[in-house]
Amino acid sequence: MLSAESRAFLTELAGRPPVDEPLWVEALTHGSTGAARDYQRLEFLGDRVLGLVVAEWLHAAETGDEGRLSQRLNALVSRATCARVARGLGLGSHIRLGKQARDDGGADSDNILGDVMEALIGASFVTHGFEDTRVMVRRLWADAMAGKTGQSKHPKSALQEWAAGNRRRMPEYRLVERSGPDHAARFTVAVSIHGVGEAEATAGSKQEAETKAAEEFMRRFG
């Protein structure tokens, strides 16, 4: 069952006391606990609900073409943005982790925070329906939507265009190292352009490491 602290947290999150407590416990439970059910199924659902809410929001609020809207959508529903929202809420202290996962920093992992944030959206959809979940997401994502998230070109696209504009070969990405347990993995990726140079970055996912490596390359050579 939920602790008093987690119950209060979820009440503030959803705007009402949680019903169907086992479902909300599931949304907060990481596989490292060995529990029969963890957050993955609800994460799958919440990811789709979040995407629909943000896509509808962008369609109503912005006038860009499909490419521009897709760029913002991808940034706003990314794991990094989900984790940033979750961290701002103090979600980490309510996630149910096995001892090793907690000792390894799982409560502050972008991967886990982002996944659990989506699972909570899924739990809200199941228990409260789409409209109430839409209101919740819009409240939680208001700062990201109002800010510059996704406004600028994605670093990998920017680097590719830079290479083409300077008549260079296309960027090549390679995985340098993968370290840490599965629930707190770290990926180091290098990106290089022949005749120019190479840059490395480390992040909690291969995709994010590639993005950061592209940013670092542009900072150094662009």
Q: Known catalytic residues?
A: 47, 118
> How crowded is the C-beta side of 178, counted as CA atoms within 13 Å?
9
CB 92 within 8 A of CB 86: yes
Angle between helices 130-140 and 40-61 (to 10 degrees): 70
User: Cα separations (Å) of 32 from 10, 29, 63?
Assistant: 22, 8, 44
CA 202, 206, 208, 209 dihedral sign is: positive
Who contacts 29 (Cβ-Cβ below 8 Å, separation ≥6)? 35, 37, 38, 39, 95, 96
Q: What are phi and psi of 64, to 5 degrees?
A: -65, 165
CA–CA dist 126, 20 (Å, integer)? 10
